Structure 1
Amino acid sequence: MHGGRTLYGFTLGVITLHTHFPRTLGDVANARTWKFPVLYKIVEGATPRAIIGKEKSCVDRILSAAKELEAEGVKVITTSCGFLSVLQEELARAVSIPVITSALLLVPLVYRICGMKPVGILTANSKAFTKEHLLKAGADQIPVKIAGLENTDFGKALLNDEPCMDFEKARSEVVQTAKELVRQHPDLGCIVFECTNLPPFATDVQRETGLLVFNLIDLVNMVCSAAERIGDVF
């Protein structure tokens, strides 16, 4: 047996934004969401607004966080913000383990699975959502329809990093936004949550829209399951 580290046994490493809003069960930054041992790396100064603004200092710290997580022994790395799809290539090249920056990586797959119909995307901020976010996820050639939550209390709580949130109101806002997206685009094949804070509402949205809903938790669980097929030596 060979050592060299202080801690062992982590499957998943999460590069986490520096935030203060609540993280309920199902959120990427709630450790009880995961069935795998998880190690978090908080990137100081990486606020939602800093990430949306693509601040260079944040990018450098995120790349460093990925390298630190790999050195600490995790098998898979993910992030706590779907807009980090713009760093997919950089992060994947920076380490030698799987990196999942965003649920947007699912878009090409679910498009083909769900009848090659347009994919609905629910995002925290549609005004900040760009073609680059899709391009870096390999999804720029897929027909998508986008709905943002930036004008809801839920969306504002995330973007303004507010320490309190009305969860039931958030649930209603997310469901209503999804239903309106489907009403406007009845040809949708499925819905993908760009925002990593939306998975707690996946069941409600799927029930109310009748469409399959995919999110980062689904993708990370799949990759972690593959990574754990061969266990650690110790």
Structure 2
Amino acid sequence: MTSRTTRSLGILTLERGVPPGGKPPTPAPGSILNPSSFEFPAIQEIVAGAWVENVVSGDPALEPAYIAAANRLVERGAAAISSTCGFSIRHQSAVAAAVKVPVVMSSLILLPALLRQVPAPGKIAVLTYDSKHLSEDLLGVADPAERARVVIGGIEGGKYWHDELKRPAPPMDIKAIESDVADCIARLRGAHPEIAVILFECAGFPTVASAIRRTANLPVYDITDLCRMTMASIA
């Protein structure tokens, strides 16, 4: 069994392309890939062929690559598995069945619990990289009354959305992410003043979570919160 002092979070990462000079940019503060985001070590494996475009759109052919990368992480000592894209939840069941460690591929796993946390008529706002591809099956909410309390907003068409589709992807523009996310939240709250909690689907959004908590004055949950909780549960 992995000891408490050496246990690591295993992170499945998407393809980013080779940047000029061959050196990847330093992950932004708050990012799931930034070592300072966690009190425990994290290790990474790239999911071969998994680019933002085909992961978000839901290419089923990626599943074997997700499983293979997850197994490599476990072989390297990962005590739990997560990912850098919330749309990877499509492969949650397959990866969880393939490895014998906890698997939390997406913050969307938190949505049913948040609906219980917030009493009706309070609503949960799900902020996503691309709302056009956040299909109903990814939400995990079957009850129509509960589904009516979930509102979805995306930043598709914004600068960060375009940046992530580039090969190689450029360094994160934190100001652009914050602006896109804040604008989306403002639109959602204008239409749904009952919003009581915000859930970030996108694993890039934790970089602006602290700023959004201050400006929106609402609880904000993201993938890093789920990773911390999962790692804290492991002996």
Cα distance, 1:222 vs. partner? 0.7
Under a length normalisation based on structure 2, what TM-score does the superposition of the two structures give? 0.86
Q: Give the counterpart letter for 1:167 in structure 2.
A: I
Q: Give the counterpart letter for 1:65 in structure 2.
A: A
Whether the 8 Å contact between 2:174 and 2:207 is mirrored in structure 1 is no
Cα distance, 1:165 vs. partner? 4.5
Distance 1:176 1:212 in 2: 17
Instruction: Spell out the pairing of 1:111-130 with structure 2 (5 A cutoff).
Output: 111-116=115-120, 117-130=122-135
1:95 to 92, 95, 99: 99
Distance 2:171 2:77 in 1: 34
Q: Paired residue for 1:154? A: 160
Whether the 8 Å contact between 1:175 and 1:204 is mirrored in structure 2 is no
Whether the 8 Å contact between 1:115 and 1:189 is mirrored in structure 2 is no
Q: Stretches of 4+ moved more than 6 A in 1?
A: none
Relative to 1, partners in 2 of residues 1:185 and 1:160: Cα closer, same or farther, differing over 3 Å? farther
Q: What SS does structure 2 have at the residue aligned with 1:97? A: coil
Q: Paired residue for 2:21? A: none
Q: Paired residue for 2:221? A: 214
Q: Paired residue for 2:185? A: 178
Whether the 8 Å contact between 1:51 and 1:84 is mirrored in structure 2 is yes
Relative to 1, partners in 2 of residues 1:76 and 1:165: Cα closer, same or farther, differing over 3 Å? closer
Q: Paired residue for 1:18? A: 15
Q: Paired residue for 2:40? A: 36
Whether the 8 Å contact between 1:43 and 1:65 is mirrored in structure 2 is yes
Whether the 8 Å contact between 1:43 and 1:62 is mirrored in structure 2 is yes
1:132 to 134, 137, 141: 137
Cα distance, 1:29 vs. partner? 2.3
Unpaired segments of 5 or more residues in structure 1?
none
Distance 2:95 2:12 in 1: 11
Cα distance, 1:44 vs. partner? 2.6
Q: Paired residue for 2:114? A: 110
Distance 2:192 2:163 in 1: 27
Distance 1:154 1:180 in 2: 18
Distance 1:140 1:123 in 2: 20
Cα distance, 1:94 vs. partner? 0.9
Unpaired segments of 5 or more residues in structure 2?
18-23
Q: Give the counterpart letter for 2:12 in structure 1.
A: I
Distance 1:164 1:83 in 2: 21
Q: Which moved more, 1:29-38 or 1:100-109?
A: 29-38
Whether the 8 Å contact between 2:126 and 2:152 is mirrored in structure 1 is yes
Whether the 8 Å contact between 1:10 and 1:39 is mirrored in structure 2 is no
Q: Paired residue for 1:60? A: 64
Distance 2:213 2:182 in 1: 9
Distance 1:54 1:39 in 2: 25
